[in-house]
Each structure stands twice: as C-alpha cells, then as structure tokens.
Structure 1
Amino acid sequence: MNMQKKMETIYFYHTNDIHSHFDTWPQISRYLISKRAEHKEREETCLVFDIGDHVDRSHPFTDGTAGKGNVALLNSAGYDAITIGNNEGITMSKKALNTLYEGADFDVIICNLFETDDSTPKWMKPYEIYTTVTGLKIGVIGATAQYKEFYAKLDWQIVEPREALRKIAKSICPQVDIIVCLSHLGIHEDRLLAAECKEIDIIFGAHTHHLLMEGECVDSTLLAATGKFGQYVGKVVVQFDIDSGRIANKHATIIPASELESEEADVERVNRLIEDGKQSMDEKVFYNSFPLKNDLFKESPLSSFFGKSLIAYTDADCALFNGGLFLGGLEQGWVTKADLHALLPHPINLCVVQLKGTELLEIIRLSKNEEWPKTEIKGLGFRGTLMGGLIFANLHETESGQLFAGQKEVLPETNISLATLDMFTFGFFFPTLKDAEKDYIMPEFIRDVLGWYGKETFAGTL
C-alpha cells in the first residue's frame, strides 16, 4: 500500500538592493501583500525578507526622512525580517542608525555588528526562529559586508561575517528544521559560505547586485538573489518532508516587477514620495551671494568653491575630485538642503590621504588620462553618469616650473596631505591611494561639507 508523504510547502519572498528606487515599489508592495493574504487563506507559511540597501540617501525621500520613510514602506508591505546593507550601516551616523528601526514591525537580523564594548545593539538580533503552520522551526541568520575602517570611524565594531554566520548556524542547528541566511555580502562570499557551512539551506544574497534567474546551488545550499533597484522580486519555494525531517525540494524563481499588477495611481504615489522628501529638506543652509556655475570637463566657479571647501574643512595641502560630481550649479540666493542634495546626491565621504611627493606626481600623471572624463562610472557611491574632468584644488605651478601644494613645494620626499573622495581610495583609478595612510571623514557627506563652507563664507550676508 502506498503511503502519501506528509509534506509542508513554505514560501519565501525576498528583495535586495532597492537603493530607494521607488518606481516599482507600489507594484512590489501590492504583490507581497496579496501573496501573504493568499497564503494565509490557504493556511500556508509565508515569510518576506529584504537583504539590505533598501535605504539610499541619494533619494530625497530617504534623506529627508533619515531613512524612516523606508522603514514605513517595509512595514506597510508586511516584511518579516531584514538585514542591513552598507547604505544603512555606513552612510548614516551612529545615532541615526540606532534610531532608524524604532518603529519597525519586522526583525532586523545581523550577527556581525556590535558596539565597541562587544554588546549587541538593542535594535538588532543575531538570529530569529520562526514557526510554520505545522510547527516546523525556521532559523534565520544574517550578516552585512565588513567595511572595517568605515564602521570603526562611526564607533561600531564589525567582525568577519562568514565566521560569525558559521558559529550562529552551528549553534541553532539542533533547535531548527531549516536555516536560511540573509546575506549582504556579495555573490563571491555567498559561494564560499555555502561551501563552508553545510547547515545553511538557503542564502538570500545582495550587495553585488547579482541576479540569479533560477537560483544557484552550491553543494546542498540554494543561493537566491534579485539584482537591484526593485527590478525583480524573488520567490523560493521549499517542500519539507515532515516524516524524514528533511527538505525534499527547493527552487528559486524571480518575478519581473514590470509584469506585476500596476494602477494609474502608482506614478502619483512615487511622485508623492519625492515631494515629501523635498519638503522635508526646505531648510535654508546659506545665502549664496553669487551664482556658481559648473563645467563638467574643466574648472568652474562651482568647482573652485567646492575645492576651497575641502581644503578649509580638512586643512589638507591640496584636494582632488571630479567635475562629474556636480549635477547642476547653484544660483544666487538661498541654498536649501534640497538644493545641496540635488547638486550632490552621492553618499560619498571625504578622505584625507598622506602621500609623498613622488606619489602625488604619479596621481597627477594618471589624472591626465584623456579617456577618463567621458568614462561612465557605476557604483562606488557615485550617483552621476560621467567622470568629468579631474580637478585639483590648491595645487599650482610657478613660472619656473616649481609645483606647490598650498605652501609646500612638491619634491620627491615631501609629505603631502590630499583631500579626496572615498571612491578614489578603492584602487580603481589611483592604485597608490588604496594602500596609503588615510583618514575617512564621517558621517558627513561631501554635500554637508559644501553646506558648512557656504555658511562660513556667507555668514551674515544677504
């Protein structure tokens, strides 16, 4: 006689790296709410996760609400748990991150971020265990990418994520039937983790914006990820054999957001988010006494003003940045937070790098690459399109050919401090900067520095 196996089907839905791209959010939210209602009616288990970088301060709604608007959106869509990405972790001040999830209706799961005294912040959990409709236990663990220098500057302690995840997975394994991981580590790290930690059944991935159309199996672990910017929603279906206590089948699919049900009011909802953000940033920062125009490929009144702000803020000998940073100019009159955000939406910090004269000369040589100004930049925190011209501030050459950084003549062994953008220190453009001694200025973004300098420069003027 054939005995029918006793099975439970569990449904997971997931998003990652939304980066405050809200064009498809109304459709995604509606879809998740409808699927939850559908599974509830059928008495099926459904869990909804976000794998980090939902927040991105390049969007005025996010910046204007200090990320709390994003939390409200996650609440309304019925998420069960999230982990944080680097945009939540290192583009916000410690105070802002500590208060970001105060109103969250979901769990924030991360096991590799701590206070400097090794304690766990009250708003996060190293893991959570969820119970299915038949009583199965699902252990959910999570971790975020280890940007050690950046977290340290913000008074956080971050530890190696794969080791932390392995420890948690092994510790909870006897208590649970399934272990899933919310990993904002990137596809390479996810593959290593899957190979190292057999206890993990599913890794929901993020960070490197990888898209796994039907998932990817590494040994017995299923990897799933949905790319970026809300272009897709992920779905993983697990069939669990209750009699044997094992997963019988698991598979991943993705649903294009473009195929989800839309309504005429969706565009209005997105526009309302943008307007809400702009209104919250109506605060006046400084009165600009003269127009500051920009030129993408060469020095301009705006780039000159910005260069002076970097020198004044850091007391560095000279500065380096790119003309493509500026997404417009500044007119004469009051400059608001919204104006500064529109001009410099990038979540980019300043960095002061210590160099020898020979190293600075090498950077100057590389900056003359004629291909760079028209190069498209993606990632690295940059929210523009083209690199634009490379611009040095406080660097000048005398008629006799002597080069000075501020008051210092640039000789081979001269010690020079260079204020530049954090994205230039990752080694993609200037390899010398990657290993040089450096000090990141955090949590201020470059727009905050420009706003500070405007206040200092035009204080009391109208």
Structure 2
Amino acid sequence: MLRFKAVGLFLGIWLLAATALAGGDYTLTILYTNDIHAHLAAFDEFGAFCDKAKDAAGKCQGGAARLATAVARERAKGGNSLLLDAGDQFQGTLFFTKYKGEASAFFMNRLGYDAMTLGNHEFDDGPATLANFIRSLKFPMLGANVDVTASPDLKGLVAPYIIREIGGKKVGIIGLGQPKTAQMSSPGPTVTFAAAAGPVKKALAELQAKGVRIIIVLSHLGLTGDKKLAATVPGIDIIVGGHSHVLLGNDFPEAVGPSPLVIDGPDGGKTRIVTAGYWGRYLGSLTAAFDADGHVATMTGNPIRLDAAMPEDPATLAEVDRFAKPLDAFRATVVGQTVNALGAAMCRQEECTAGDVLAESLLAGGRRFGATMALVNGGSIRAGIAPGPITLGDVLTASPFPNTLTVLTLTGADLKAALEHGVAHVGLTDGTGRFPQVAGLTYTYNPAAPAGSRIVAVETADASGHFTPLNPNADYRLAVSDFLFRGGDGYAMFGKNGRDVEADGMAVADLIATWLGQNNPLRLELDGRIAVAQ
C-alpha cells in the first residue's frame, strides 16, 4: 500500500512540474528607464540640483546613485533579468552641456544596461556627438526604423534588433526611434526615420525565422504611438516605451494608466506596454512568465519610486561627484534671484512661470530687431527654478538646448495658424512639447473644440505694449528659437512663410541670464496671458 502511495505521490509531483513548465515556468524580469535627460545627480521637485541642505530635508530624488541601488536590489532577487532604456539620455542638465554624453555612457555601462533605443534628443548635438556616445557604450544601440546607412558618422552603429539568450531562452529586442525626430532635433540630412509598423514587421519575421518567440519592442514612439503599434502589429509581447514623459503604474497618483497597460492585438493576442515617467524618478520593473511556446502566462510589476527613501549607492555617488565637480563653476555664477518658484510642470498644456521667463527673455533679445512678441515651445523648458538665488547652472538646467534667437515677420493669419498648431495636441500624451508659451500676446483656446479650431481669441502688443485684437491681414514681428524657425515641433509656417528674418546667433540661455539680471529680484506670477475658454 505504501508503495502505491509513493508512486502516486511521484506521479503527482511529476504532473505538477509538467504543468508548471507548460504554464509559465520561464520568467524574465525587465528593468527599464526612459527619458533620463542627463539627470545623473539627485534633483529637487523642480528638477534643479539638489544640495546637501535639500538632501538632509528629504527633498532629493532620482540620480544615478539611487538608480544603482534599486537595480542592485532587483538583481539580488535572482532569476533572469534585462535592463533596458527607451531613449532620451541626452539633454536636460549640465552633465550633458559639458560632457555631451560621456557621463551618461559611463553610468549606463556601470549599471550594466543590455540595450537602448534612440530617442529624438540623442540627435540634439548632431550625429558626430551621438556616434561618440554609441562607440563608448558596452551594449547595442537599436533603431529598426532609423536609417543611418548614408551617415558618415553613424553608419554601422545602430542595429534594428538584437537577440539575447537568457536562461536558455532567446529574447528578441527591437528598437524604435521617434519618426518625427527630424522635426524635433538635429539629425542632419543623412539620417532618415520611418513609420514604425513596417520595420517592426520585418524585424519580427526575421526573429521568428531564427526561432525567437519572446519579443520586446524598445520604443521612443510615445504612449499614443505604442498603443497604435500594439493594436495593429501582432506578435509583440511587451513594449517598453518612452518619449511621452508619462507614468504607467499602479497606486501612483500621477500615473495615466496601469502597469502593464494591456492592448488587444489584431490577431487576438495581447501586448503589454510599460513606461517609467521621466528624469529617472522611477525604475520600471516588470516580471513576465512565459509558456513553452513563448506566450505570456502571467505578467506583474510596478515602477519603483526613487525618492529620498531609496538610499544612494556610495560608490556610484562618488563617481557622480567626480563628474559634478567641474560643473561647480557653472552652478556658482549667480545671475538673479526669484521671490516665487518658477514652475515648469505644466508648461506643455498651460501658462507656466518658467515659460513666461523664457518667452519674455526672447522678446527682450528680439526687440532690437523690431520684435513685439515671442513664442516658445513648452517642451524646451526642462526644469523649474526654486525660490532664491538663480545661478547659471539653474538657467542651463531649465533651458539646456543650444538654441539661438531668430526674429521674423508673419501675418496675423500665420500667427494664428501657429497657435492652432501649438494647442492641437492638448489632452493627448504625445506631441505636447509644441504647446506655445508666449510674450507680447495673449490667447484663449478651447481644448474641447476640434484641433485646428481651438483658438478663440488673440490679442497682440505693439511696440508700446498696447494690446489689440489680432488682425489676420497685418504683419507682426515675432521672436522664436532657431529650432522653431527650422520647423522644429512641426512649426513649418515659420520657415516657410517668415519674412525679413534676422538671426544673430545669440544663445537663448544668455538671453535668459541677461533678462533675469535686468529684472532682479524677480517677482513673477501667472498673469493669464494664456486662458482656457469656459
């Protein structure tokens, strides 16, 4: 009798093991980041440099040292894992201003990333800087929809996908860049960007032919693009996304959806989407169990908050301090003082004080060329500024792009078209960086109206500061950045229809520093120059 019981017990254990193998025995944990934007040192709630006093008060978050701790803790749990980045390591703090990607590469190598895809900001300093960055990486750069074959700098440095064998299973990772990078950044004429679906389908076919059944897409399309891709292209298990600066998470007030976000595919399958906000405020974590055919059996996870409760890894912090030391001279130069915080959190959808500062600075710089108004894209504002002294480091952190001043003449009709373009994506998760912050004009818009018909009223200032309703047939002198004049963020009307163009090469950061000095101390509050129709 005991013998039969032993045989029965053995068979039961064998059946349980077989069931486990068939139903999800292979697990893979994906750790992910996106849109770090050179935030290698800890920062405060405004995105500004976090000093010792703020650290002692528990007001610091993010940074490579906290990220190192979080990654080490997750890896210590054991099992199969990947560490992936969905693009935009470049641009956003003095670490990029000075090191042009060298510091970012150092810390990514130190943390042991497995792959990265190209973000649009990777091209901000041109292909040569990007090429140096990629050559210094110890892992591949991916971009299935990015053609660099005609680029002397980038040819051979970007792969469409990679295959990693982890725990005895082949995992395919496909990279996708932002298709509108040419409008958003400076890739030059020899780098081209395609829509996502075609390159992904091609890569999927090649991976499947090589026996790969687990497919991850590392994407910088933005959340809207990721949803569209998941709904139209079958065979994708997971999309790790970036570009939208939004969080998918569970039990986080700022999250715009759950993690993972499940999208039904065209073949009846399901694709899971994850993304971890921006600036390294979170480390994303997702654990998936796959069956023998590579199908997802279960999937769980949630981003990990990298706030003051997450300790900084001492060895990594020492390296951050080593890179930060030469930046002290930049940070130490005081250019002004602000009584109130210059907020940047809402610059992509409403008036913000950091946007007012940037627009007023361009207008002041453009007055010598006859400018009476200025328009800047909210996405060019990368951080706010806390009350107190304002240093050059604060300015360069808030406005890190190497943009210069351009002044042009536009008709009132073209100006209204630019404003319509700027507010067209309000309420969406992508393309909101175009939102127009302004000086020398006011406007009211209705976000509930169809895109292209949202501008309700516009008033413009003359040289004496007197406001009158916009005349569609009149000419106006407008100050913008050279980025917008080149058609950046889709503002094609500036370069196409602009007349009497003046561009003296004055750096936008210098204009801000000058304006702050002239308005010191600054007592700036929102004045309603941008209004929402009730």
What residue number does 1:160 align with?
195
Aligned with residue 263 of structure 2, among 192, 206, 218: 218
Alpha-carbon distance in structure 2 between the residues aligned to 1:149 and 1:327: 28
Instruction: Specify the SS of the correspondent of 2:84.
Output: strand
Aligned with residue 233 of structure 1, among 275, 283, 288: 283
Alpha-carbon distance in structure 1 between the residues aligned to 2:359 and 2:282: 38
Alpha-carbon distance in structure 1 between the residues aligned to 2:100 and 2:463: 40
Unaligned runs of 5+ in 1: 285-290, 365-377, 404-409, 452-462
What residue number does 2:101 align with?
67
Post-superposition shift, 1:224? 1.2
Q: Do the aligned residues in 1 keep the contact of 2:411 with 2:475 (CA within 8 Å)?
A: yes
1:370-406, CA deviations, whole angstroms, 9 ceiling, x for partnerless residues?
xxxxxxxx97389xxx9685489997379xx9x9xxx
Aligned with residue 15 of structure 1, among 33, 43, 49: 33
Instruction: Specify the SS of the correspondent of 2:218.
Output: strand
Q: Do the aligned residues in 1 keep the contact of 2:83 with 2:113 (CA within 8 Å)?
A: yes
What residue number does 1:170 align with?
205
Q: Do the aligned residues in 2 keep the contact of 1:319 with 1:420 (CA within 8 Å)?
A: no
Distance 1:351 1:191, change over 3 A: farther
What residue number does 1:30 align with?
69
Aligned with residue 217 of structure 2, among 141, 157, 181: 181
Q: Which amino acid aligns with 1:122?
A: G
Instruction: Specify the SS of the correspondent of 1:101.
Output: helix
Instruction: Specify the SS of the correspondent of 1:438.
Output: helix
Q: Which amino acid aligns with 1:48?
A: L
Post-superposition shift, 1:14? 0.7
Instruction: Specify the SS of the correspondent of 1:165.
Output: helix
Post-superposition shift, 1:18? 2.2
Moved more, 210-219 or 176-185: 210-219
Post-superposition shift, 1:76? 0.9
Moved more, 389-398 or 342-351: 389-398
Distance 1:270 1:118, change over 3 A: closer
What residue number does 2:508 align with?
446
Alpha-carbon distance in structure 2 between the residues aligned to 1:388 and 1:150: 19
Alpha-carbon distance in structure 2 between the residues aligned to 1:348 and 1:131: 43
1:233-288, CA deviations, whole angstroms, 9 ceiling, x for partnerless residues?
1112122223x454333333222223864159599659826843525869x9xxxx
Q: Do the aligned residues in 2 keep the contact of 1:354 with 1:418 (CA within 8 Å)?
A: yes
Alpha-carbon distance in structure 1 between the residues aligned to 2:373 and 2:207: 50
Moved more, 119-128 or 348-357: 348-357
Post-superposition shift, 1:201? 0.6
Post-superposition shift, 1:113? 2.0
Q: Do the aligned residues in 2 keep the contact of 1:111 with 1:141 (CA within 8 Å)?
A: yes
1:328-356, CA deviations, whole angstroms, 9 ceiling, x for partnerless residues?
9xx9xxxx986973684456565666622
Q: Which amino acid aligns with 1:166?
A: K
Q: Do the aligned residues in 2 keep the contact of 1:31 with 1:260 (CA within 8 Å)?
A: no
Alpha-carbon distance in structure 1 between the residues aligned to 2:438 and 2:472: 29
Instruction: Specify the SS of the correspondent of 1:200.
Output: coil
Distance 1:116 1:140, change over 3 A: closer
Q: Do the aligned residues in 1 keep the contact of 2:374 with 2:439 (CA within 8 Å)?
A: no
Q: 1:303-342 counterparts in 2 under 5 A? A: 307=363, 310=366, 320-321=374-375, 341=396
What residue number does 2:137 align with?
104
Q: Which amino acid aligns with 1:251?
A: T
Q: 1:263-342 counterparts in 2 under 5 A? A: 263=312, 272=321, 275-276=324-325, 278-279=327-328, 307=363, 310=366, 320-321=374-375, 341=396
Post-superposition shift, 1:105? 1.2
Distance 1:420 1:327, change over 3 A: farther
Alpha-carbon distance in structure 1 between the residues aligned to 2:150 and 2:313: 51
Q: Which amino acid aligns with 2:411?
A: K
Post-superposition shift, 1:164? 2.2
Alpha-carbon distance in structure 2 between the residues aligned to 1:36 and 1:362: 51
Instruction: Specify the SS of the correspondent of 2:307.
Output: helix
Aligned pair count reads: 401
RMSD value over aligned CA atoms?
5.1
- Is 1:420 the counterpart of 2:480? The answer is yes
Post-superposition shift, 1:141? 0.5
Post-superposition shift, 1:205? 1.3
Post-superposition shift, 1:215? 0.7
Distance 1:358 1:185, change over 3 A: closer
What residue number does 1:49 align with?
84
Alpha-carbon distance in structure 2 between the residues aligned to 1:389 and 1:352: 14
